[in-house]
Structure 1
Amino acid sequence: MAATISTDSTGDRIVAAATTEFAQHGVAGARIERIAKTARTSKERVYAYFRSKEALYQHVLSRELATVAEATRLDPRDLAGYAGRIHDYFMRYPERLRLMTWGRMRQCLPGEVALDDPIQRSVGYKIELIREAQRAGHLDPSWEPLDILVFVNQIAMSWADQPDLVPADVDRAEFLAARRAAVVTAVERLFPSSAQGPISSR
């Protein structure tokens, strides 16, 4: 369990250093020695706050998921708008996408997902929001809620995950603006906005 760190500058430095370290190297490749050095403290001090590297990663990931949720605000009645915000966030902070990708990769390993895994908690919460919107008639109930969430997230993050595909001979800002518009349009066509009221099932 993580110690309380909100008013402790050493704890803040540890979390900031760990966020960068995990984004670059993942959990397996991250080193407490590097985190401590970057945070200008000792390994012993890091372990005084967090009992293990895993506990530190869980804390960092939980904070990032909360930040993403606040910045992107899932509204199941307007999934296209949500996709646009997801796109904007991870285009601005690609290192945070890497941080979360490491967490998803770990979930593919047998026995690596804890019952209180922050990604699983976040997914469960969003699925319930989508399910409630379906019950209220704001989303087509023929879709599985998990499919909706996965499809929207994958479309939204598609360009943040492939910055190398931007052609060298185009205006980068114009090109990326067009890609954002494509993301929003794709999600809108799959899951039309129902912000004005309930929709009919297919």
Structure 2
Amino acid sequence: MPRPTTDPTAEPAAPESADSTRERIVTAATDEFARHGIAGARVDRIAKQARTSKERVYAYFRGKEALYGHIAAKELTELAEATKMDPGDLPGYAGRLFDHFTARPDHHRLITWGRLELADSAVVDTDADPTRAAIARKLDQLRQAQQAGHLDPAWDPVDVLALVNQIATTWAAQTEIGAAAEQAADPSVAARRAAVVAAVERLFPRVKRSQPG
């Protein structure tokens, strides 16, 4: 039986890079954590979905909580980039938050699992926690807006941020009442968004900036 011939000009297949394996692990783990939380996540399922081995997962990340921490930091960075806060336009900020979590309900679930399961964990490095850092930056922005006369100083910046975030994530956090929206006069997602923006506008009106003339 003749041996198969090989093309001497053909380039050898490139070996799979470590980066691609790591990326597949992160992608698979993001889905796993969003579905099952940290305690319920299974490394063997992550490895199977990532087309690798459990040993390989542990070679990149020392455990589930470390893997979750890496993913949470990545997701929170993405959130910060997608929903930059303008303290003079808090209704617009609320609308961007609503849009992000409407498009990425898995992101909201992922963050919520971390809040529930890692709130008192010694694994969380509070000095490097991206959530705390983002909150500190936004509080500073709000204080500066108050000092500039763009935001009512009667409000504590902590309350402003908490209320705006809570209103913006109302529907993402309360999926159990999603069916009730079908009975609304306007059941569209656009109507829910408009209600979120209007609620924040009543509490914290946009700054009316003078037009250049």
Q: Same fold (TM over 0.5)?
A: yes
- In the TM superposition, residue 110 of structure 1 has moved relative to its aligned partner by 6.5
1:191 and 2:199 correspond: no
Pair 52,110 (structure 1): closer, same or farther in 2 beyond 3 Å: closer
Cα distance in 1 between the residues matched to 2:135 and 2:52: 35
Q: Paired residue for 2:10? A: none
Q: Answer with 153-162 or 136-145: which moved more.
A: 136-145
Q: Paired residue for 1:130? A: 142
Pair 157,112 (structure 1): closer, same or farther in 2 beyond 3 Å: same
Deviations 1:26-67 (A, max 9, x none): 112112121111111111211221122211111100111111
Q: Paired residue for 1:26? A: 37
Pair 126,107 (structure 1): closer, same or farther in 2 beyond 3 Å: farther
Q: Paired residue for 1:177? A: 190
Q: TM-score, normalised by structure 2?
A: 0.81
Of 46, 49, 57, the residue aligned with 2:57 is 46
1:157 and 2:169 correspond: yes
1:93 and 2:101 correspond: no
Q: Answer with 105-114 or 74-83: which moved more.
A: 105-114
Please state whether the residue corresponding to 1:8 is helix, strand or coil.
helix
Q: Give 5+ residue unaligned stretches, structure 1.
A: 1-5, 198-202
- In the TM superposition, residue 124 of structure 1 has moved relative to its aligned partner by 1.8
Q: TM-score, normalised by structure 1?
A: 0.85
Cα distance in 2 between the residues matched to 1:110 and 1:142: 35
Q: Paired residue for 2:25? A: 14
Pair 18,128 (structure 1): closer, same or farther in 2 beyond 3 Å: same
Q: Paired residue for 2:75? A: 64
RMSD of aligned Cα (Å):
2.4
- In the TM superposition, residue 169 of structure 1 has moved relative to its aligned partner by 5.6
- In the TM superposition, residue 128 of structure 1 has moved relative to its aligned partner by 1.9
Identity among equivalent positions (%) equals: 56
Q: Paired residue for 1:79? A: 90
Tell me which structure has the larger Cα radius of gyration: 2
Q: Give 5+ residue unaligned stretches, structure 2.
A: 1-16
